[in-house]
Chains A and B, each alone.
Chain A
Amino acid sequence: MNWRKKLGEPQAYLYCLPALVPYTIFWLAPMGYVMYLSFMEWDFINPVREFVGIENYVKLFQDQKFYKALRVSLLFALGNVIPCLAGGLLLALLLYESAFQRFEVGEASSVAVVMIVILAIISSLSMYVSRRRIHYV
């Protein structure tokens, strides 16, 4: 029968259960619940919840703090991922080519030195920037 083929082996569902049950309770359900709560006005204690529609979202998008948090998060993520991935890969490639394939030790060491200097500059810069931001908040 066709639907039987589509559903697959019945045992497979049993094998998924131990992971999918906690996953549903502690990942999916909270996601849905938080969406539901976002349309409500509630203080955790009051048994009555009031439906307010998108009022909470309007409030959020008018809040300056939200934009600030968003900007800092984005900046942090980009500043972390892009230099780490691209820079690391490029420098590693350069190092590999010059040192391991051509045995140009001097060239390779210069790459390594530049790597260390760049890393030092980036980390001190990010420390300086994050310090400024934390103090302003």
Chain B
Amino acid sequence: MNATAVLYKTKRWTFTAIKYVLVIAFCVIMAFPFFWMVSNALKTNDEIWAVPPVLWSADPSWSNFIEAWNAAPFGLYMFNSVFTATSIVVIQLINSSMISYALTHMRFPPGRFILVMIIVTYMLPVSATYLSGYVILSRMGLLDTYAGLIISNSVTIFGIFLLRQAFLQVPKEMVEAAKVDGCGHWRILWYIMVPLTRSTLIVMGLLSFIAMYNNYFWPMLITKNPKLQLVSAGLRSFFIEGGAYGLKWPLIMAASTFTILPLVILFLIAQKWLIKGVNSAQSINK
């Protein structure tokens, strides 16, 4: 081995080492708030306020989780959030893929106008429609119902846009071939387009689920009944009532910890699909 090769090798090694150090540092920065949340859930109030911060409690009190779970109807809140978010995601996936198919693979000249209109409204701030959206929802008698929560969120402009881009990537020849073989639009959509763009659909569903699970302002506006509160609003009311305005920090942190659990589980499940999806998405890009 000559000198240049050795130098080259050391250079690459240092480069890899530096890369790993940077990546690990970044991971630590990103993960620290979550670690801090869990560790604070196990501390006593005094340990939380201790001035050289205590990293991990000397005597972790796991009972904080049980106490927090019993202090407010978190099971109900989480059911509400998961239920509404799941229904919204299912509806959004179906109607977005239908409209995207019509916009991309059907002979449909007014589609351009519809697309432009949809993209223009995407740029308008959502908060501008809160006021009149509330009035419209109350006229429909859907205030304070699951149906109102679900229907008012059942269309995602970003999702339509995302899916349209994905459907455009599917070669026209494939659709033509299916037509020749005697497929109608309905079958082309569900048996060819959807499997081919599975990755985008999963990403869209995931993003939408996270957004809906974390949704705070709009659900709080349109529901009054405490039994219909979503997890974010429930956490806030727990913070005010059960947590006595932030006096019981360990309980609040414990409650926060188990409210993010569904999202963590979802990510762990979807991760495999995401990586698979990226690969198949590449193979359909001619």
Question: A interface vs B, CB < 8 Å?
Answer: 5-9, 11-13, 15-16, 18-20, 22-23, 25-31, 33-34, 37, 44, 99, 103, 105, 108-109, 112
Contact = CB atoms under 8 A, between A and B. Distances in A.
A19 B98 CA distance: 8
B133 A30 contact: yes
A112 B22 contact: yes
Contacts of A25: 136
Contacts, number: 103
B107 interface: yes
B118 A109 contact: no
23 contacts: A6-B109, A8-B106, A8-B107, A11-B106, A12-B102, A16-B111, A18-B99, A19-B96, A19-B98, A19-B99, A20-B99, A22-B95, A26-B129, A26-B152, A27-B155, A28-B121, A29-B132, A30-B129, A30-B131, A30-B132, A34-B132, A99-B15, A103-B15
Nearest to B122: A27
Describe A's contact surface by its main secondary structure: helix
Contact of B136 (A5, A8, A15, A29): A29
Nearest to B130: A30
B11 interface: yes
A15 B99 contact: yes
A11 B5 CA distance: 65
A112 B22 CA distance: 9
Interface residues of B, number: 40
Nearest to B99: A19
Contacts of B95: 18-19, 22
Contact of B106 (A15, A23, A26, A29): A15
B108 A9 contact: yes
A22 B109 contact: no
Contacts of B98: 15-16, 18-19
A26 B133 contact: yes
Interface of B: 8, 11-12, 14-15, 18, 22, 94-96, 98-99, 101-103, 106-111, 114, 118, 121, 124, 128-129, 131-133, 135-136, 151-152, 154-155, 157, 160, 185, 189
Nearest to A18: B95
A18 B136 contact: no
Nearest to B26: A116
A22 B155 contact: yes
Given A9-B108, A31-B124, A31-B128, 16 more contacts: A8-B110, A9-B107, A15-B102, A15-B189, A16-B99, A19-B98, A22-B151, A23-B118, A23-B155, A26-B136, A26-B152, A29-B132, A31-B129, A34-B131, A103-B15, A109-B18
A19 B114 CA distance: 11
A136 B194 CA distance: 52
Contacts of A37: 131-132
Contacts of B102: 11-13, 15-16
